[in-house]
Amino acid sequence: MCGIAGLIHRGRSSNVGSELQGMLQALKHRGEDSTGYALYGDTDGKNFIMRFKVGENVGEGSSSVVEDVSVYDERKKIVDETLIELGAKIIKEERTLPYSLRYEISYDKKDLLDFSQRIESIPGVEILSMGKSLEVIKDLGNAKAVCDRYSLDKLIGTHAIGHARMATESGVDIKSAHPFWGYPFSDVSVVHNGQLTNYWNNRRALENKGMRFMSECDSELIAVYIAQKMREGASLEEGMKESLTGLDGVFTYFVATKNSLGMAKDTMAAKPLVLYESDELVAMGSEEIAIRSVLPQEIETYDPFDGEVKVWQI
C-alpha cells in the first residue's frame, strides 16, 4: 500500500523534521517496513551534505545479509580515500549508526556524476543523498522509530517529503526504501506510492544513457527518469508532465528540489492524495489524517484530479 507525505513552507522555515514525523506516523498503517525522510534544511549553502550507507540494517524483518561491522569500517576507509582522490575535503563527519554516515564536504565541481560513480563503485556503498540542503534519511521501522534513531525531530528547514513503506515487489532493506535521490542531481528527491508496469523497459533505456539504479524497486525509476529529463534540459514540471505518458502503471509521487516541491498523479487516479494549499503552507499526503497532524483545525482540502501535476516554490 505505502503512504507518502510532504509539506512546503513558503517564505519561512519550520521544524520540518518533527512535522514530517507526525505526518508519516499518522500513515503508519499503510506500511512500516521502512520509513524515509527527505529533509531540506537551512544551511549556509557552501558545503555539500552527503548521506550514505556502507551496509544494511540487518535487524528483525530485514531481507539483507548479515555482515560484520569491520566490513563497514573498511568501506568507510575506502570512501574517505576516494574523497581525497576526488579533491573533496571532509569538513564534518557523523556516524549515526555503524552503517549510516553523514559527511559535510567541500567540493568545487558542479557535475556530481563522476563523483557519485566513483563513490558508488565501492562495493556495498550507496549515496542516499547529495546536496547543499537535502538530507535523505531512511531505515527500517515506522516514522517515529526512524526519527528517534537519527534525531530528526529538531531539523529546521523549508520543505520535506517522506514515505512509509509496505514492501511488496522488492526487499525489506534500506536500498529499496524511499525517498530516492535524483542521482546525480544535487538536492533532488522522490517518493512514490503505486506500481510501475514498464519498469524494465525504462530502466534498460536509462541505463544505456549512463544512469544508475541501486535497487530493483520500481519507484527508483521515477527519480532516475526525472533526473534524466532534467539532464536533457527539461524543467522539473516539464519532466513530471512527460512522466505521465512515459511511465506506465498507477502512481502518485512527489519530487522535491532545493527550492520547490511537486506532485504528479497518473491518468487513472488510482492512488490517493489529499492536498491542502495556502499562501503560507502546502501539505499533502495519502490520507487527510497526515495533514491533520500538522493542521488539526478545520481546513479546506481536496483530491487532485487524474493526470494532474503541480509544483510549488518556497
Partner 1 sequence: MANLKNVTKKSKAQSMGMHTEVLTGRTQQKFFDPDEAENFYYFGTYDVDFNKRTNLDVKDMNAAEANKEIDKLMSEGYGTIVIKNPQGKHSLGVGILNKLNLIFEGSLGYFGMGSCDGPIVRINGRVGWSCAENLMAGKVVIEKNAGSCFGAAIRGGDLICKGSVGARTGIDMKGGTIIIGGDAGAFTGFMMQRGRIIILGNVGINLGDSMYDGTIFVGGEIGSYGSDAVDSELTESDQDWLRRKLKVAEIGENFDVSKMKKIVAGKKLWNYDNLEPTEKKGAI
Instruction: Please give the residue ranges that form the binding site for partner 1 (CB under 8 A).
Output: 267-270, 272, 274, 287-289, 291-292, 296, 298, 300-303, 305-307
Best CA proximity match to 24, nearest among 191, 224, 167? 191
Phi, psi of 78 (to 5 degrees): -70, -40
Q: Is 2 a catalytic residue?
A: yes
- CA gap 125, 33 in Å, rounded: 21
Least distance to partner 1, CB of residue 73, Å: 46
Q: What is the DSSP letter of 119?
A: H
Q: Which residue lies nearer to partner 1 by CB, 238 or 308?
A: 308
Q: Which three cell numbers stand for residue 5?
A: 507525505
Nearer to partner 1, 104 or 287 (CB): 287
Q: Which is nearer to partner 1, 51 or 265 (CB)?
A: 265
| Cα–Cα distance list, 168 to 28, 34, 209, 273, 275 (Å) | 15, 12, 28, 20, 26
Q: How far is the CB of 285 from partner 1 (least distance, A)?
A: 10
Residue closer to partner 1 (CB basis): 19 or 187: 19
Q: Which residues contact 84 (CB under 8 A, 6 or more apart)?
A: none
Of 1, 2, 103, 282, which is the active-site residue? Answer: 2
Residue 61 φ/ψ region, left for φ over 0, alpha for ψ in the -120 to 50 degree band, beta for the rest: left
Smallest distance from the beta carbon of 238 to partner 1, in angstroms? 22
Strand partners, 283: 7, 276
Q: Residue 45 CB, nearest distance to partner 1 (Å)?
A: 37
Q: Which residues are marked as active site?
A: 2
